[in-house]
Chain A
Amino acid sequence: MAAAGAESQTVQEYIVHHLSYLTFGRHPDGHWGFAHSPEEASEMGFMAIHVDTMGWSIALGAAFLLWFRRVGLRASASNPGAIQNFVESIFEFVDNRVSEGFTHKNSLIGPMALTIFVWVLLMNAMDLVPVDWITGIAAWVGEHVFGFDHMPFKIVPTTDPNITMGMSLSIFLLIIWYSIKHKGLGGFLGELAFHPFGKWMVPFNLMIEIPTMLAKPISLGLRLFGNLYAGELLFLLIAGLLGLWQLPAHFVWAVFHILVVPLQAFVFMMLTIVYLNAAHEPAH
């Protein structure tokens, strides 16, 4: 699983290559194109998109939803097949978590929890694909077909903070939206200003409550990113440093990682449910 055809690469180059994104964006001179080195990518700043992680993210999400829809269209109440049972068990698992954790009426929460759980699970599971298979093929294709030396191609979307923060910030916007909807703007601001110490301590309350509020989406996104990034990095270190010994080491770490993959998807889903449930509580 060592880098294919990359004897000249140092371990550092190998890891940097694997941690870089295939970036498409606006170069400093104003024209749009792919970044051919990490330096070029960072010069693009905000006006760039990670084609690899974004593409995998959309592909996995679309595959999951279309597949579920296909199974759902053929689903029969009286005579479910094996695949239907499998999908239904996921559905029921999520549905039960939602009905336990979410005590208000909102038909969006269930589908959102299902989307988060399965989508994040699939994105995390990409971490279990050996680190050089798809990345190696893509690098070869990039070099020989497009003349793109050392083309990076990251396949685990949740090791990209843009992906995890994109989701957690969307959820943060929903939290604010539903808070204002159910508590009123006054109730929402009141919770920030008058808790926990009453109206004579407003500045102090704000100092506590605003970071608390902001910490939710940031910790939500960074927790997922950090876990997966660390896992990925360890796979890369094993692949880059251990030579032949990487085979058992990869196996051991992959087994641990099998626990991390669904656990982080589950945590992300549960926290979303809990945060949104709190947003639906009337002001007190």
Chain B
Amino acid sequence: MSVIYVLLTISVTVALFFFIAFIVSVRSGQYDDSYTPSVRMLFEDELVKKGDTSKEKRTKINPTK
């Protein structure tokens, strides 16, 4: 079999893989809410930091804000 067929099969398979990945992600509702996850992502960082700092330190930060 010529190499062209092999190459084409590979390229179409890769394209199909991404296409199916796209359909699956749309179906799972990933694009229904495109805003909240972007905010939520930032919280988790802050939360970890918060866990490390002591309570007194935190109350000190509050009034400055």
- Are chains A and B native binding partners rather than an unrelated pairing? no
